[in-house]
Chains A and B, each alone.
Chain A
Amino acid sequence: MSGYFKELISGTKSLFIGLGITGKYFFEPVVTLQYPHEHLEMTPRFRGHIELIPDEETGEPKCVVCGMCQKGCPSGCITLDGEKREGVKGKVLTKYILNFTTCSLCGQCVESCKFGAIRFSKDYNLASPRKEDFIFDLIKRLKGIN
Chain B
Amino acid sequence: MPEPFRVILFIIFVMAFAGLNAAYLVWCERKGAGHIQRRIGPKEVGPFGLLQPIADGIKLMTKQLFLPKGVDPILFMVAPLMVMVPAIMSFVVIPFSETFVAREINIGLLMIFAFASVNVLGLLLGGWGSANKYAVIAAARCVSQNVAYEIPMLITVITMVMVTNTMNLNEIVRLQDGWFWHWHIFRLDMSLLMPVAFLIFFTCSLAETNRAPFDMAEAESELIAGAYTEYPGMGFGVFFMGEYANIVIGCALSVILFLGGWQSPIPFSPAGFLGVVWGLFWFLIKLYALIFTVIWIRWTYPRTQFYELLNLSWKVLIPISLFNLILTALQIKIFPWL
Contacts and interface: CB of A to CB of B under 8 A. Distances in A.
By CB atoms of chain B within 10 A, which of A21, A29, A32 has the most? A32
Given A18-B301, A34-B40, A8 B316 contact: yes
A28 B36 CA distance: 9
Interface string B128-159: 00000000000000000000000000000000
A30 B38 contact: yes
Interface in A14-68: 15, 18-19, 21-23, 25-32, 34
A8 B299 CA distance: 22
Interface string B293-322: 000110111000000000000001000000
Given A19-B296, A25-B36, A26-B36, 11 more contacts: A8-B316, A18-B300, A19-B297, A21-B300, A22-B300, A23-B296, A25-B38, A26-B296, A31-B38, A31-B39, A32-B39
Interface of A: 8, 15, 18-19, 21-23, 25-32, 34
B301 A15 contact: yes
B296 A22 contact: yes
A27 B38 CA distance: 9
Given A19-B296, A25-B35, A30 B301 contact: no
A25 B299 CA distance: 11
B37 interface: yes
Interface residues on B, range: 10 to 19
Given A31-B39, A32-B39, A32-B40, A26 B300 contact: no
Contacts of A31: 38-39
B32 interface: yes
A30 B300 contact: no
A31 B37 CA distance: 9
Going nearest first, the 9 A-B pairs with the smallest beta carbon separation are A32-B39, A22-B300, A22-B36, A31-B38, A26-B35, A18-B300, A26-B36, A30-B38, A30-B40
Nearest to B199: A12
Contact of B38 (A15, A19, A23, A28): A28
9 contacts: A15-B301, A18-B301, A22-B36, A22-B299, A23-B296, A26-B36, A30-B35, A30-B38, A30-B40
Interface in B26-46: 32, 34-40, 43
A45 B199 CA distance: 54
A31 B296 CA distance: 19
Contacts of B299: 22
A19 to B, nearest CB: 6
Contacts of B36: 22, 25-26
Contacts of B301: 15, 18
A18 B298 CA distance: 11
Interface in B273-309: 296-297, 299-301
B297 to A, nearest CB: 7
Nearest to B299: A22
B250 to A, nearest CB: 18
A44 B299 CA distance: 37
Nearest to B297: A19
Interface string B42-77: 010000000000000000000000000000000000
A22 B37 CA distance: 8
Contacts of B296: 19, 22-23, 26
Contacts of A34: 40, 43
B303 to A, nearest CB: 14
Nearest to A33: B39
